[in-house]
Structure 1
Amino acid sequence: MTDGDMPEDTGVRPFAVPITDQFAHEAGETLLGYREMVEGGLSNVGLPSVNSPLRAAMATMDATPDPTGTARGALHGMLLEIAGMLWDTALDHVRALEHDIVRKPAAVWSPLVMARAVMESCLLFGYLFEPSNSCPLRLVRCAGLWRKDTDHSRSLAKVLGEEGRA
Protein backbone atom coordinates (compact mmCIF):
# COMPACT_ATOMS: atom_id res chain seq x y z
CA MET A 1 0.00 0.00 0.00
CA THR A 2 1.40 3.40 -0.90
CA ASP A 3 0.60 6.84 0.45
CA GLY A 4 -1.75 7.36 -2.51
CA ASP A 5 -3.72 4.26 -1.43
CA MET A 6 -4.42 5.61 2.06
CA PRO A 7 -7.93 7.02 2.50
CA GLU A 8 -7.88 10.82 2.67
CA ASP A 9 -9.73 10.97 5.97
CA THR A 10 -7.05 8.84 7.63
CA GLY A 11 -4.77 10.93 9.78
CA VAL A 12 -1.04 10.55 9.62
CA ARG A 13 0.00 7.48 11.56
CA PRO A 14 3.74 7.63 12.11
CA PHE A 15 5.47 4.27 12.19
CA ALA A 16 2.35 2.42 11.05
CA VAL A 17 2.72 -0.46 8.63
CA PRO A 18 -0.32 -0.35 6.38
CA ILE A 19 -0.47 -4.01 5.36
CA THR A 20 -3.67 -5.97 5.06
CA ASP A 21 -4.49 -9.04 7.12
CA GLN A 22 -4.48 -11.12 3.93
CA PHE A 23 -1.00 -9.90 2.99
CA ALA A 24 0.32 -10.61 6.49
CA HIS A 25 -1.22 -14.11 6.45
CA GLU A 26 0.20 -14.92 3.01
CA ALA A 27 3.63 -13.58 4.01
CA GLY A 28 3.57 -15.81 7.10
CA GLU A 29 2.58 -18.83 5.01
CA THR A 30 5.36 -18.09 2.52
CA LEU A 31 7.93 -17.87 5.31
CA LEU A 32 6.64 -21.17 6.73
CA GLY A 33 6.97 -22.84 3.32
CA TYR A 34 10.54 -21.65 2.80
CA ARG A 35 11.56 -22.56 6.35
CA GLU A 36 10.15 -26.07 6.02
CA MET A 37 11.95 -26.46 2.70
CA VAL A 38 15.38 -25.77 4.23
CA GLU A 39 14.88 -26.70 7.88
CA GLY A 40 16.76 -30.00 7.82
CA GLY A 41 19.31 -28.75 5.31
CA LEU A 42 22.37 -29.18 7.48
CA SER A 43 21.26 -32.05 9.69
CA ASN A 44 20.44 -34.25 6.69
CA VAL A 45 23.72 -33.68 4.89
CA GLY A 46 25.57 -36.66 6.29
CA LEU A 47 29.17 -37.39 5.39
CA PRO A 48 30.57 -35.71 2.30
CA SER A 49 31.10 -37.89 -0.74
CA VAL A 50 34.49 -39.52 -1.23
CA ASN A 51 35.45 -37.12 -4.04
CA SER A 52 34.21 -33.92 -2.35
CA PRO A 53 36.58 -31.00 -1.69
CA LEU A 54 35.57 -31.11 2.00
CA ARG A 55 36.68 -34.73 2.32
CA ALA A 56 39.98 -33.89 0.59
CA ALA A 57 40.55 -30.92 2.93
CA MET A 58 39.84 -33.08 5.97
CA ALA A 59 42.32 -35.70 4.74
CA THR A 60 44.95 -32.99 4.24
CA MET A 61 44.41 -31.71 7.79
CA ASP A 62 44.63 -35.24 9.18
CA ALA A 63 47.93 -35.79 7.33
CA THR A 64 49.43 -32.49 8.52
CA PRO A 65 51.88 -33.04 11.38
CA ASP A 66 51.23 -31.55 14.81
CA PRO A 67 50.92 -28.92 16.12
CA THR A 68 49.71 -27.43 12.80
CA GLY A 69 47.38 -30.34 12.00
CA THR A 70 45.76 -30.22 15.42
CA ALA A 71 45.32 -26.44 15.22
CA ARG A 72 43.74 -26.65 11.78
CA GLY A 73 41.49 -29.50 12.90
CA ALA A 74 40.35 -27.44 15.91
CA LEU A 75 39.62 -24.45 13.67
CA HIS A 76 37.71 -26.71 11.30
CA GLY A 77 35.64 -28.03 14.21
CA MET A 78 34.92 -24.46 15.28
CA LEU A 79 33.92 -23.63 11.71
CA LEU A 80 31.41 -26.48 11.65
CA GLU A 81 29.99 -25.39 15.03
CA ILE A 82 29.59 -21.84 13.69
CA ALA A 83 27.79 -23.23 10.64
CA GLY A 84 25.26 -25.01 12.81
CA MET A 85 24.76 -21.99 15.03
CA LEU A 86 24.24 -19.65 12.06
CA TRP A 87 21.81 -22.05 10.43
CA ASP A 88 19.80 -22.58 13.62
CA THR A 89 19.76 -18.84 14.35
CA ALA A 90 18.41 -18.01 10.90
CA LEU A 91 15.70 -20.66 11.14
CA ASP A 92 14.73 -19.57 14.64
CA HIS A 93 14.31 -15.96 13.52
CA VAL A 94 12.26 -17.01 10.48
CA ARG A 95 10.04 -19.09 12.78
CA ALA A 96 9.53 -16.06 15.05
CA LEU A 97 8.87 -13.83 12.06
CA GLU A 98 6.16 -16.19 10.80
CA HIS A 99 4.19 -15.47 13.98
CA ASP A 100 5.16 -11.85 14.45
CA ILE A 101 4.02 -10.74 11.00
CA VAL A 102 0.39 -11.72 11.69
CA ARG A 103 0.30 -10.21 15.17
CA LYS A 104 -2.41 -7.70 16.08
CA PRO A 105 -1.86 -4.88 16.30
CA ALA A 106 0.65 -5.15 13.48
CA ALA A 107 4.22 -5.03 14.70
CA VAL A 108 6.42 -2.37 13.16
CA TRP A 109 10.05 -2.82 14.13
CA SER A 110 10.33 -6.42 15.31
CA PRO A 111 9.75 -7.92 11.83
CA LEU A 112 12.48 -5.68 10.45
CA VAL A 113 14.88 -6.69 13.21
CA MET A 114 14.12 -10.40 12.74
CA ALA A 115 14.49 -10.16 8.97
CA ARG A 116 17.83 -8.43 9.44
CA ALA A 117 18.99 -11.15 11.86
CA VAL A 118 18.10 -13.81 9.27
CA MET A 119 19.99 -11.95 6.58
CA GLU A 120 23.07 -11.44 8.77
CA SER A 121 23.22 -15.15 9.65
CA CYS A 122 22.85 -16.13 6.00
CA LEU A 123 25.46 -13.63 4.82
CA LEU A 124 27.99 -14.81 7.39
CA PHE A 125 27.24 -18.41 6.46
CA GLY A 126 27.88 -17.53 2.81
CA TYR A 127 31.09 -15.69 3.72
CA LEU A 128 32.42 -18.77 5.47
CA PHE A 129 31.08 -21.48 3.15
CA GLU A 130 31.09 -20.01 -0.35
CA PRO A 131 31.64 -23.13 -2.49
CA SER A 132 34.47 -21.53 -4.47
CA ASN A 133 36.44 -20.85 -1.25
CA SER A 134 39.27 -23.20 -0.43
CA CYS A 135 39.46 -24.90 2.95
CA PRO A 136 42.49 -22.81 3.99
CA LEU A 137 40.52 -19.63 3.18
CA ARG A 138 37.59 -20.87 5.27
CA LEU A 139 39.93 -21.58 8.18
CA VAL A 140 41.54 -18.14 7.86
CA ARG A 141 38.13 -16.49 7.86
CA CYS A 142 37.10 -18.51 10.91
CA ALA A 143 40.33 -17.54 12.70
CA GLY A 144 39.73 -13.90 11.79
CA LEU A 145 36.23 -14.01 13.27
CA TRP A 146 37.57 -15.68 16.39
CA ARG A 147 40.25 -13.00 16.71
CA LYS A 148 37.69 -10.22 16.28
CA ASP A 149 35.50 -11.85 18.93
CA THR A 150 38.40 -11.90 21.40
CA ASP A 151 39.05 -8.20 20.63
CA HIS A 152 35.42 -7.41 21.47
CA SER A 153 35.61 -9.50 24.65
CA ARG A 154 38.77 -7.67 25.70
CA SER A 155 37.09 -4.29 25.11
CA LEU A 156 34.07 -5.35 27.12
CA ALA A 157 36.29 -6.55 29.98
CA LYS A 158 37.95 -3.13 30.09
CA VAL A 159 34.57 -1.39 30.22
CA LEU A 160 33.28 -3.68 32.98
CA GLY A 161 36.49 -3.43 35.01
CA GLU A 162 36.75 -5.09 38.36
CA GLU A 163 32.97 -4.96 38.97
CA GLY A 164 32.33 -7.20 35.95
CA ARG A 165 34.51 -10.03 37.22
CA ALA A 166 32.62 -12.66 39.11
Structure 2
Amino acid sequence: MVQHSFAMQRRRFLQLGLGAALVMAVVGGAVVWLRPGLQAGRIAPAVRSALTRLSEAILDRSLPADASARASAVAAQIDRLDTFIAGLPAATRDELSQLLGLLVAPPGRRLLVGLSTDWPQATVEEVRDALQDMRLSSLSLRQQAYHALRDLTNGTYFSEPQAWAGIGYPGPVDL
Protein backbone atom coordinates (compact mmCIF):
# COMPACT_ATOMS: atom_id res chain seq x y z
CA MET A 1 0.00 0.00 0.00
CA VAL A 2 2.85 2.39 0.77
CA GLN A 3 4.49 1.69 -2.61
CA HIS A 4 1.19 2.36 -4.37
CA SER A 5 0.91 5.68 -2.57
CA PHE A 6 4.46 6.59 -3.59
CA ALA A 7 3.73 5.64 -7.22
CA MET A 8 0.67 7.86 -7.21
CA GLN A 9 2.67 10.73 -5.75
CA ARG A 10 5.42 10.28 -8.33
CA ARG A 11 2.87 10.09 -11.16
CA ARG A 12 1.18 13.25 -9.89
CA PHE A 13 4.56 14.99 -9.65
CA LEU A 14 5.38 14.02 -13.24
CA GLN A 15 1.97 15.24 -14.42
CA LEU A 16 2.48 18.57 -12.67
CA GLY A 17 5.95 18.89 -14.18
CA LEU A 18 4.65 18.16 -17.67
CA GLY A 19 1.81 20.62 -17.17
CA ALA A 20 4.20 23.33 -15.98
CA ALA A 21 6.49 22.72 -18.98
CA LEU A 22 3.53 23.01 -21.33
CA VAL A 23 2.40 26.26 -19.71
CA MET A 24 5.95 27.67 -19.92
CA ALA A 25 6.17 26.71 -23.61
CA VAL A 26 2.87 28.41 -24.38
CA VAL A 27 3.76 31.51 -22.36
CA GLY A 28 7.23 31.67 -23.93
CA GLY A 29 5.77 31.28 -27.41
CA ALA A 30 3.20 33.99 -26.73
CA VAL A 31 5.87 36.36 -25.44
CA VAL A 32 7.98 35.86 -28.57
CA TRP A 33 4.94 36.22 -30.81
CA LEU A 34 3.88 39.43 -29.09
CA ARG A 35 7.43 40.83 -28.80
CA PRO A 36 9.62 39.60 -31.65
CA GLY A 37 13.37 40.20 -31.60
CA LEU A 38 13.32 41.79 -35.03
CA GLN A 39 10.95 44.41 -36.39
CA ALA A 40 10.80 44.80 -40.17
CA GLY A 41 13.97 42.72 -40.37
CA ARG A 42 15.93 45.03 -38.05
CA ILE A 43 16.96 44.65 -34.40
CA ALA A 44 14.11 45.68 -32.10
CA PRO A 45 14.96 48.43 -29.58
CA ALA A 46 14.45 46.07 -26.63
CA VAL A 47 17.03 43.67 -28.09
CA ARG A 48 19.80 46.26 -28.44
CA SER A 49 20.72 46.20 -24.73
CA ALA A 50 20.89 42.39 -24.75
CA LEU A 51 23.13 42.38 -27.83
CA THR A 52 25.26 45.12 -26.30
CA ARG A 53 25.88 43.08 -23.14
CA LEU A 54 26.44 39.90 -25.16
CA SER A 55 28.93 41.67 -27.43
CA GLU A 56 30.78 43.11 -24.44
CA ALA A 57 31.08 39.64 -22.89
CA ILE A 58 31.93 37.71 -26.06
CA LEU A 59 34.41 40.27 -27.41
CA ASP A 60 35.74 41.40 -24.02
CA ARG A 61 39.47 41.00 -24.64
CA SER A 62 39.22 42.08 -28.28
CA LEU A 63 37.59 45.43 -27.47
CA PRO A 64 39.61 48.59 -26.76
CA ALA A 65 40.60 49.09 -23.12
CA ASP A 66 39.62 52.79 -23.09
CA ALA A 67 35.99 53.08 -21.91
CA SER A 68 34.99 55.62 -24.56
CA ALA A 69 36.62 53.70 -27.40
CA ARG A 70 35.10 50.48 -26.06
CA ALA A 71 31.59 51.96 -26.02
CA SER A 72 32.09 53.26 -29.54
CA ALA A 73 33.32 49.86 -30.77
CA VAL A 74 30.33 48.08 -29.22
CA ALA A 75 27.87 50.59 -30.73
CA ALA A 76 29.47 50.05 -34.15
CA GLN A 77 29.25 46.29 -33.56
CA ILE A 78 25.50 46.48 -32.93
CA ASP A 79 25.08 48.52 -36.12
CA ARG A 80 27.06 45.87 -38.08
CA LEU A 81 24.89 43.13 -36.56
CA ASP A 82 21.77 45.03 -37.58
CA THR A 83 23.01 45.44 -41.16
CA PHE A 84 24.09 41.80 -41.36
CA ILE A 85 20.78 40.50 -40.00
CA ALA A 86 18.81 42.66 -42.45
CA GLY A 87 20.60 40.87 -45.30
CA LEU A 88 19.76 37.35 -44.11
CA PRO A 89 17.07 35.28 -45.84
CA ALA A 90 13.57 35.77 -44.42
CA ALA A 91 13.39 32.27 -42.89
CA THR A 92 16.69 32.80 -41.07
CA ARG A 93 15.58 36.22 -39.84
CA ASP A 94 12.36 34.65 -38.51
CA GLU A 95 14.31 32.06 -36.51
CA LEU A 96 16.72 34.68 -35.25
CA SER A 97 13.79 36.91 -34.29
CA GLN A 98 12.42 34.10 -32.13
CA LEU A 99 15.77 33.59 -30.42
CA LEU A 100 16.26 37.30 -29.80
CA GLY A 101 12.68 37.63 -28.55
CA LEU A 102 13.32 34.86 -26.05
CA LEU A 103 16.54 36.52 -24.90
CA VAL A 104 14.78 39.74 -23.91
CA ALA A 105 11.74 38.13 -22.30
CA PRO A 106 12.42 37.58 -18.57
CA PRO A 107 11.44 33.87 -18.65
CA GLY A 108 13.65 33.27 -21.69
CA ARG A 109 16.53 35.24 -20.23
CA ARG A 110 16.34 33.13 -17.08
CA LEU A 111 15.64 29.72 -18.61
CA LEU A 112 17.57 29.88 -21.89
CA VAL A 113 20.49 32.10 -20.88
CA GLY A 114 20.46 31.48 -17.13
CA LEU A 115 20.73 35.19 -16.38
CA SER A 116 18.52 36.55 -13.59
CA THR A 117 19.70 40.16 -13.97
CA ASP A 118 18.03 42.37 -16.60
CA TRP A 119 20.28 42.97 -19.60
CA PRO A 120 20.98 46.67 -18.95
CA GLN A 121 22.07 45.95 -15.36
CA ALA A 122 24.02 42.75 -16.08
CA THR A 123 27.78 42.91 -15.71
CA VAL A 124 30.21 41.53 -18.27
CA GLU A 125 31.17 38.83 -15.76
CA GLU A 126 27.54 37.77 -15.20
CA VAL A 127 26.92 37.53 -18.93
CA ARG A 128 30.21 35.70 -19.52
CA ASP A 129 29.31 33.17 -16.80
CA ALA A 130 25.82 32.70 -18.27
CA LEU A 131 27.31 32.15 -21.73
CA GLN A 132 29.75 29.60 -20.33
CA ASP A 133 26.82 27.76 -18.69
CA MET A 134 24.99 27.78 -22.04
CA ARG A 135 28.06 26.43 -23.83
CA LEU A 136 28.46 23.57 -21.35
CA SER A 137 24.73 22.86 -20.91
CA SER A 138 23.40 19.36 -21.37
CA LEU A 139 20.48 20.88 -23.32
CA SER A 140 21.29 21.13 -27.01
CA LEU A 141 18.91 24.10 -27.40
CA ARG A 142 21.01 26.16 -24.99
CA GLN A 143 24.22 25.11 -26.74
CA GLN A 144 22.78 25.98 -30.16
CA ALA A 145 21.69 29.39 -28.93
CA TYR A 146 25.15 30.00 -27.48
CA HIS A 147 26.87 29.07 -30.74
CA ALA A 148 24.49 31.20 -32.81
CA LEU A 149 25.10 34.25 -30.60
CA ARG A 150 28.84 33.73 -30.49
CA ASP A 151 29.15 33.15 -34.24
CA LEU A 152 27.00 36.16 -35.13
CA THR A 153 28.96 38.38 -32.77
CA ASN A 154 32.43 37.21 -33.79
CA GLY A 155 31.60 37.05 -37.48
CA THR A 156 30.36 40.60 -37.68
CA TYR A 157 33.04 42.06 -35.41
CA PHE A 158 36.00 40.44 -37.13
CA SER A 159 34.66 41.24 -40.59
CA GLU A 160 35.96 44.77 -40.02
CA PRO A 161 39.62 45.45 -40.91
CA GLN A 162 39.98 47.62 -37.75
CA ALA A 163 39.52 44.48 -35.61
CA TRP A 164 42.21 42.47 -37.39
CA ALA A 165 45.21 44.08 -35.71
CA GLY A 166 43.91 43.02 -32.29
CA ILE A 167 44.18 39.36 -33.26
CA GLY A 168 47.36 39.69 -35.29
CA TYR A 169 45.73 39.13 -38.68
CA PRO A 170 47.53 41.20 -41.33
CA GLY A 171 44.63 41.03 -43.77
CA PRO A 172 44.13 39.16 -46.99
CA VAL A 173 47.15 38.49 -49.15
CA ASP A 174 47.26 40.27 -52.50
CA LEU A 175 47.38 37.77 -55.34
TM-score, normalized by the shorter chain, greater than 0.5 = no
Greater helix share, 1 or 2?
2
TM-score when normalising by structure 1: 0.31
TM-score when normalising by structure 2: 0.30
Higher Cα Rg, which structure: 1
